[in-house]
Amino acid sequence: MKLGKKLFIHDEVKVSIENNKNLIDVSNDLFGYINGKTINVLKEHINKYNIDISHFDRFYRRRKWEVLKRICPQCSKEFTTNEKDNKITCSYQCSNIYFKDKRIARNFKSVICSVCGIEIKVKKQSNTYCNLCKKNKEKENKKKYSCINCGVNIRKTKTGLCKICLHKSEEYRKKMSLSIRKRVEKGIHKGWKSRKGLEPSFSEKYFMNLFDSENIEYVREKKIGMYFADFVIKDRFILEVDGKQHRRRKESDSRKDLFLTEKGYTVYRIEWYRPTSENGKRKLYRQIKELYNIIRYRSNTDKFIEVMNI
């Protein structure tokens, strides 16, 4: 039998089929190339002489992991697996029966409850409470207690004070000062950092762009005594942009304003609202319009800066 110029010998075909694992390799070995004609000829020859091709593996070229044959230790059934999966049993059912005792010993550990002293089995070593004690603890955490000083609802704390009252208490301040002194003596304390190197917040960037567009000269984060002013505009005028955190700092902000006015500055505060909603725009733009009126009045110029139509 001939295919092109190549002579097709039965013995050579039989040896090539035995040594290779699919028709593509056989075609390459015999003819040096592959196409539909060569594969059809090989198939006809295999069917004609009933050559055994049970060892053929169609996907062996694409296979990354080697196929392994094993016998299941539970049901004694033969099954196939690969090097990656490396299965020991043939199915989940056999696996659950075979590894039952080993899983219990591996996952669960016996621990004594730290509250009631009962021996319990847990998966993690960190869980040292039984279910009853755990529920009681969760209920205690959910309870709301009132601050001893101001009566605000808080969670249970060691001092019985809220954060604001705690920071105001003399005992807390003494403890903090002692800890800082110890850090200074050991050389661990890094010192008080100035705000000049810090990046401006979103609200500060907004006003910086606003002032740059209107050619208003300003100095950001200017140190005046023990305080930092957000924006200092000419003629000793200070603009402070207050976020949500300033609602709790009214006392400290009033002390700061008093100190700056004594130094001869005029302080104007703007409560920050994000200009993403209509309500936020209306509240913020009204304050900016007032600010621009003050700047116009202080500079004694006839130029009126209209920012927004409210």
Nearest partner of 109 among 119, 123, 128, 99, judged by Cα: 123
For the chain, 310 residues long, the average pLDDT of each consecutive 10-residue run is 58 85 85 86 88 78 80 91 86 85 61 82 70 79 80 81 86 88 80 64 88 87 86 86 83 89 90 88 89 74 40
Give the total residue count for the chain.
310
Domain with residue 253: its CATH number is: 3.40.960.10
Query: Does 45 fall in a domain?
Result: yes
Number of domains making up the chain = 3
Residues 207 and 249 in one domain: yes
Q: Which of 7, 18, 88, 69 is nearest to 41 (CA)?
A: 7
Residue 185 inside a domain? The answer is: no
Rounded-to-integer distance, Cα 268 and Cα 290, Å: 10
Rounded-to-integer distance, Cα 284 and Cα 217, Å: 21
Is residue 211 domain-shared with residue 287, that is, in the same domain? yes
Whether 225 and 259 map to the same domain: the answer is yes
Domain assignment present for 237: yes
Please tell me whether residues 35 and 72 are part of one structural domain: no
CA atoms within 13 A on the CB side of 267: 21
DSSP states of 250-286: HHHHHHHHHHHHHTT-EEEEEE---TTSHHHHHHHHH
**Contact in structure between 204 and 220 (CB atoms under 8 Å):** yes
Same domain? 230 vs 277 = yes
What are the strands, taking DSSP E only, across the chain?
2-3, 6-7, 67-71, 78-82, 109-112, 119-122, 145-146, 153-154, 218-224, 227-233, 237-242, 266-271
252 falls within a domain: yes
Same domain membership, residue 100 and residue 39: no
Q: What pLDDT shows up at residue 309?
A: 40
CA distances from 91 to 73, 85, 88 (A): 11, 13, 9
Do residues 7 and 33 share a domain? yes
Residues with Cβ within 8 Å of residue 11, at least 6 apart in sequence: none
Residues 231 and 289 in one domain: yes
In a domain, 55, yes or no: no
- Whether residue 116 is contained in a domain is answered as no
SS3 at position 2 = strand
Alpha carbons within 13 A on the beta-carbon side of 49: 14
Whole-Å CA distances, 118 to 106, 111, 113, 123: 21, 8, 5, 16
Centroid of chain to Cα 61: 41
* Structural domain includes residue 292: yes
* Amino acid occupying residue 281: K
Same domain, 88 and 17: no
Give a yes or no: residue 152 inside a domain: no
Report how far residue 231's alpha carbon sits from residue 219's, in angstroms, rounded to the nearest whole number: 6
Residues 35, 90, single domain; the answer is: no
Question: For residue 184, how many other CB atoms are within 10 A of its CB?
Answer: 11
Q: Output the CA–CA distances (angstroms, integers) from residue 165 to 27, 149, 168, 170, 179, in the order listed.
A: 88, 7, 5, 10, 20
The parent domain of residue 76 ranges over 67-104
Residue 25 and residue 75 share a domain: no
* 243 lies in the same domain as 285: yes
